[in-house]
């Protein structure tokens, strides 16, 4: 069965540093991979989508890489700020419909001043 692992349950970094989150998956070849931000008691908010034929994607301070050989995606937040503190979720498509996704458990990022 499909399995998604996000490297750690929690990550604490100092403001201004780069946060790097990892998403590994097995038993699957997704057409695309997405990253979401989730705040406590709220629904996820879409951040970035990267397709299987793309190596890297950027949006402002965010960067995502996708290595289909390693079955891994890295999510970077540069110049991190305390407001970036949240849980970040990795999600893979389940084929066919856009909204049918497998989610990882997430990594809780805390950025301290």
Per CB under 8 A, residues contacting other proteins are: 4, 9, 34, 36, 41-46, 49, 89, 94, 97-106
Classify burial at 40, counting beta carbons within 10 Å of its beta carbon; exposed 0-12, middle 13-18, buried 19 or more: exposed
Give dist(CA 53, CA 3) in Å, integer: 21
CB 65, CB 74: distance < 8 Å: yes
Nearest to other proteins of 28, 103 (CB atom): 103
Q: Which is nearer to other proteins, 80 or 109 (CB)?
A: 109
In the complex, what is the shortest distance from the CB of residue 33 to other proteins, in angstroms, rounded to a whole number?
A: 13
For the CB of residue 38, give the shortest distance to other proteins in the complex, in Å.
9
* 84 three-state secondary structure: helix
Q: How far apart are CA 85 and CA 95, in angstroms?
A: 31
The nearer residue to other proteins, 10 or 79, going by C-beta atoms, is 10
Given the complex with other proteins, which of 39 and 67 has the nearer CB atom? Answer: 39
CB of 18 to other proteins, least distance (A): 25
């Amino acid at each position: 069965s499909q399995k998604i692992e996000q490297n750690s349950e929690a990550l604490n970094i100092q403001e201004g540093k780069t946060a790097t989150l990892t998403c590994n998956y097995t038993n699957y070849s997704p057409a695309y991979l997405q990253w979401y931000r989730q705040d406590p008691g709220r629904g996820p908010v879409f951040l970035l989508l990267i397709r299987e034929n793309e190596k890297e994607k950027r949006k402002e301070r965010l960067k995502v890489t996708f290595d289909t050989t390693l079955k891994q995606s890295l999510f970077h937040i540069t110049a991190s700020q305390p407001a970036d503190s949240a849980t970040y979720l990795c999600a893979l498509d389940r084929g066919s419909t856009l909204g049918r996704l497998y989610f990882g458990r997430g990594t809780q990022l805390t950025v301290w001043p």
